[in-house]
Amino acid sequence: MKIAIRVDASSEIGSGHFMRCLTLSSKLMSNGAEILFISRDLPEPMIGMLNSFGVSYSPLGPGDNLSGGDLQHSRWLKTSQSNDAKQTLKALSTTSWDWIIADHYALDFRWEALVRSAVKKVMVIDDLADRPHQCNLLLDQNLGRNVEDYHGLVSGETEKLIGPKYSLLRPSFAQVRTESLLRRVNPKFKRLLISMGGADKDNATSYVLDVLKASNLPAGLHITVVMGGQAPWLQQVRMKAMQMQCPTDVLVDVNDMAQLMALSDFAIGAAGGTSWERCCLGLPSIVLVVAENQQGVAAALKKNGGALVVNNIEEIKLAIERLLRPDTLIPFLRDISLAAQQVTDGQGAERVVRKMLSVPGYYD
């Protein structure tokens, strides 16, 4: 089985799309698949990750920055959909392909119609439900999403995988889930994890540290900050960490995030793909909306009770004050954890792969 994946990553796009595609690739490869990533301007550390996983990589040519697109995220593509499809088809021309997976907010049915001539099946990974698709399989792993949200956007024949039951988490999260949930039975507040996304282009991490520095944090608290090596504000965050009143570590490009989350008592993070990682491990958290496309995830988590959701930095101070009330801290942590762990069990990638292998017509 040969599978191509069209995905990008950058400081604006973030790394979440790339990471979930890499997770799916790993599971597919364990089922005997050969994988090719097709990307434009992929950061060097991510190219290194592909190499370490044994995944092939085909870089697209430079964009012309003349997208002229009508989608909200058209600028992310750095060219037109038709030109991107032409370049993608060139990357696909060396062999026949069973699937192409598109995980990109700047692509829709027009791109998919152009590339499907070179593949047997098309899969789309989406979070927005804001544009039509021409695909055999659609995955939207977000809490609060319904099949009806894609009514009129995909064909009635499109197989739809909807909800965090299908969240693409690395196997390590399912592996430490039991251990992590057992720690939540008797909650503590000794280890705080901050993870605002690998890029954190808006420097949310610095603002969070400023709020924490001015808060009455309990004695014995240890803070761990996680960032990507390409984050533009990394050095500023390191300087702020040195000025904190409690021990604060800054870890870069960690490869054991599941274990780090499992050993944490609370987290402050962005309302992106890491939300499902925290939920899988029952890690109570304050979730900050740092991008418009995270509003739906945040609203669903708030309704579910699986996180304390804030919409801006100013609200974080109030959330922390609420968290630290001595009479409510432990019940608060326990309640959030119980709600969060019901969201996903970390087996989503396995479910997606099984569905890919059973889509009608695959063996045509």
22 pLDDT higher than 50: yes
Q: Is residue 76 part of a domain?
A: yes
Lowest mean pLDDT among 37-51, 58-72, 99-113: 58-72
| Domain CATH number, residue 310 | 3.40.50.2000
Per-residue pLDDT band at 360 (split at 50, 70, 90) = low
Give per-residue pLDDT as tens, 66-124. Answer: 766 899 999 999 999 999 999 999 999 989 999 999 999 999 999 999 999 999 999 99
Question: Which of 10, 349, 292 is closest to 130 using CA atoms?
Answer: 292
Mean pLDDT for 130-137 is 97
* 228 to 3, 225, 231: CA distances (angstroms): 27, 10, 5
* Domain co-membership, 313 together with 202: yes
* Domain co-membership, 157 together with 185: no
Which pLDDT value is given to residue 362? 41
* Domain co-membership, 178 together with 154: no
Lowest mean pLDDT among 34-38, 222-226, 255-259, 278-282: 255-259
- 241's enclosing H/E stretch is helix 234-242
Q: Mean pLDDT over all residues of the chain?
A: 92
Question: Which of 80, 82, 115 is closest to 99 using CA atoms?
Answer: 115
* Domain co-membership, 39 together with 62: yes
pTM over 0.85: yes
At residue 248, what are phi and psi to the nearest 5 degrees? -135, 115
Domains identified in the chain, total number: 2
Q: Is residue 362 part of a domain?
A: no
Mean pLDDT for 1-26 is 93
- By residue range, what is the domain housing residue 76? 2-168+346-356
Which pLDDT value is given to residue 68? 67
- The number of helix segments (H) and strand segments (E) in the chain equals 13, 13
Question: Which of 173, 206, 180, 177 is closest to 264 using CA atoms?
Answer: 180
* Domain co-membership, 143 together with 123: yes
